[in-house]
Amino acid sequence: MSFEKFLFYVFAAILVFAAVMVITRKNPVHSALFLVLAFFNSAGLWMLAEAEFLAIALVLVYVGAVMVLFLFVVMMLDINIAELRAGFVRNAPVAILVAIAMVIELVIVVGPQRFGLDEVAAPAAKPAGYSNTEELGLALFTQHLYAFEIAAVILLVGIVAAIGLTMRRRPDTKSQDPSRQVTVKAKDRLRVIKMDAEEKA
């Protein structure tokens, strides 16, 4: 067994293990961290497939950015686990049906008949000077320009949607505005009333 093959099995084994842990851990934070581990090992697998840029970009974008958001969300939202589990038994039959349907579909689409070296040839080992980034850039900015611009629009939609969903004016913040504080005049705050002295009855 060559060293690359050995590495492949190590990465793949950890990946499968991490993926199982993601869906079986009770604590959502642990699940999210196992997902990070899973991404790391997929990056290793992509690297073995000679996709240098994509492997590092996976770490950069998914591990470095997307999972940070996931962690923010699962750590800081009080997710009541007991409440989530309450419906488990009731929903189980439907869930099992959906799961079986998904498995069958997956096997049809990406079943074992589509794998193996006769279906997908192993990438040829590239020389040391080979730049994956360059090749990707050449393809992206010549053949796939249209898709690239669409990506920009999708990201724009993402920005707008994120702001629309999360921006809330919070009336209860106690922040100060110094410029307003210093421009306050006495007559804005204080009213002097003249009235006759009252006599004791």
Partner 1 sequence: MLETYLPVLIFIVIGTAVGAAMIGLGFALSPNRPDSEKNSPYECGFEAFEDSRMKFDVRYYLVAILFIIFDLEIAFLFPWAVVLDQIGMVGFWAMMIFLGILVVGFIYEWKKGALEWE
Partner 2 sequence: MDAVIALWTELPVVIQIVMKIVAIMLPLMLLVAYYTYAERKIIGYMQVRMGPNRVGFFGMRLWGLGQPIADAVKLMFKEIIIPTGASKTLFLIAPMLTIGPALAAWAVFPFDAGLVLADVNAGLLYILAMTSLGVYGVIIAGWASNSKYAFLGSIRSAAQIISYEIAMGFALVGVLVAAGSLNLGDIVNAQQGSVFHWFWLPLLPLFLVYFISGVAETNRAPFDVAEGESEIVAGFHVEYSGMTFAVFFLAEYANMILISALSALMFMGGWLSPLPQNWVDGVFLLDDGFQWLLLKTFAFMFLFLWFRATFPRYRYDQIMRLGWKVFIPITIVWIVVVSVMRVAEMPWWFN
Please pick, from the candidates 64, 85, 104, 108, the single residue that binds partner 1 as defined by CB under 8 A: 64
Task: Count residues near partner 2 (CB under 8 A).
Answer: 24
Q: Which of 13, 69, 86, 95 binds partner 1 (CB under 8 A)?
A: 69
**Candidate list 24, 91, 131, 143; residue touching partner 2; CB under 8 A:** 131
Write the DSSP assignment of the chain as a string of letters: --HHHHHHHHHHHHHHHHHHHHHH-SSHHHHHHHHHHHHHHHHHHHHHTT-HHHHHHIIIIIIIIIHHHHHHHHHHS---HHHHHHTHHHHHHHHHHHHHHHHHHHHHHH-GGG-STTTSPPPPPPPTT--HHHHHHHHHTTTTHHHHHHHHHHHHHHHHHHHHHH----TT-----HHHHHT--HHHH------PPPPP-
Q: Give the number of other Cβ atoms within 10 Å of residue 18's Cβ.
A: 20
* Interface segment toward partner 1; rule CB under 8 A; list 18-26, 96-104, 106-114, 133-141: 133-141
Residue 79 carries which DSSP code?
A: -
Number of residues that bind partner 1 (CB under 8 A): 55
The binding track of 8-47 with respect to partner 2, each residue x by CB under 8 A or -, is ---------------------xx--x--x-----------
Q: What CA–CA distance (Å, rounded) separates 181 from 43?
A: 54
Q: Is residue 6 a contact residue for partner 1 (CB under 8 A)?
A: no
Q: Which residues within the stretch 43-82 sit at the binding site for partner 2 (CB under 8 A)?
A: 52-53, 56-57, 59-60, 63-65, 68, 71-72, 75-76
Q: How far apart are the first and last CA of the chain?
A: 110
**What is the pattern of x (binds partner 1, CB under 8 A) and - over residues 87-126?**
--------------------------------------xx
Minimum distance from CB of 33 to partner 2 (Å)?
Answer: 7
* Residue ranges in contact with partner 1 by CB under 8 A: 4, 44, 47-48, 50, 52-53, 57, 60-61, 64-66, 68-69, 72-73, 75-78, 125-128, 130-134, 136-138, 140-142, 145, 148-149, 151-153, 155-156, 158-160, 162-163, 166-168, 173, 175, 177
